[in-house]
Amino acid sequence: MINLYSEQDDPLFGEICKLVCDDLSLKGDADVELLFYDEESIHKLNLATRGIDKSTDVLSYPNLTEIKPFTKENYPFDYNVENNSVFLGSIVICDVIAKRQAEEYGHSERREHAYLFLHGLLHLLGYDHIDDEDKVKMRAKEEEILGQMGVSR
């Protein structure tokens, strides 16, 4: 199970966590932090952490270098004994850009938020899109899970 920590209490994100856990057969409990930034704040964060001088829709900051069952034995230094979980990392979404993209792409804000969160979560779980082969795998997984939610393109 993925425990989500966010100021925004939207069941959409919890639903995505459950679907991802089921789909990837994740074992054990993990924690994810979800933050919402304005455009200026995400621009500054992107510049400070990635050296990219522009705003972006979503940033993800993985805590783990490999994914295996979320146990104290596998992650002795990343294991939270208070809630028996492993910290996966943080996802930051720019709500303003998400709303603008939803309008631009002609779909709902819910779909755009779902996509951005799922995209960030898959990054935390080791997915990437640096090369074409990895991009195809990640996009297929995103569309599969969004389709299960009824918010595919």
Task: Return the domain boundaries, the chain.
Answer: 2-147
Residue 5 near residue 23, CB atoms below 8 Å: no
pLDDT digits (tens, 9 = 90+) for 2-54: 888 888 778 888 898 899 888 888 888 999 999 999 999 999 999 999 999 99
Burial class (CB in 10 A: 0-12, 13-18, 19+), 37: buried
In this prediction, residue 56 carries a pLDDT of: 94
pLDDT digits (tens, 9 = 90+) for 118-142: 999 989 988 888 888 888 898 888 8
User: pTM for this one?
Assistant: 0.89
Residue 64 near residue 30, CB atoms below 8 Å: no
Q: How far apart are CA 118 and CA 97, in angstroms?
A: 16
Question: What's the CATH number of domain 2-147, 3.30.2310.20, 3.40.50.300, 3.40.390.30, 3.50.50.60?
Answer: 3.40.390.30
